[in-house]
């Protein structure tokens, strides 16, 4: 990621012009390009973070749904087993 640092920077001889003034570290156009690139990179990183969060939420939802269905199936199996046991006991009883 490109960083734009503002403030005073040490001046080397290559940065000094003949009149003693400093050469600009960045032109205005360079700053605009750097800023827009940085904004785009930040936006892309935020979008990726949001996509990752949505993916994680979807995975968690799928896991919760699978756990619920497994519990429901186990409960249904238990209920069916109890009904079979009750029906077996009733069948063994002689009401005649």
Q: Which residue has the higher pLDDT, 37 or 25?
A: 37
Task: Provide the residue ranges of all domains of the chain, joining segments of one domain with +.
Answer: 13-92
Which residues fall within 8 angstroms of residue 14, CB to CB, at 6 or more apart? 23
The reported pTM is: 0.47
Which residues fall within 8 angstroms of residue 45, CB to CB, at 6 or more apart? 1
pLDDT in tens, 34-49: 777 788 888 899 999 9
Q: Is residue 26 predicted with pLDDT exceeding 50?
A: yes
Q: Write down the pLDDT at residue 96.
A: 58
């Amino acid at each position: 990621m490109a960083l734009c640092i503002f403030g005073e920077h040490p001046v080397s001889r290559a940065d000094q012009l003949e009149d003693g003034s400093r050469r600009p570290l960045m032109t205005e156009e360079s700053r605009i390009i750097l800023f827009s690139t940085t904004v785009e990179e930040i936006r892309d990183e935020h979008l990726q973070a949001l996509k990752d969060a949505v993916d994680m939420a979807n995975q968690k939802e799928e896991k919760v749904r699978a756990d619920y269905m497994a519990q429901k199936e186990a409960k249904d199996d238990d209920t069916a087993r109890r009904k079979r046991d009750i029906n077996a006991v009733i069948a063994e009883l002689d009401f005649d």
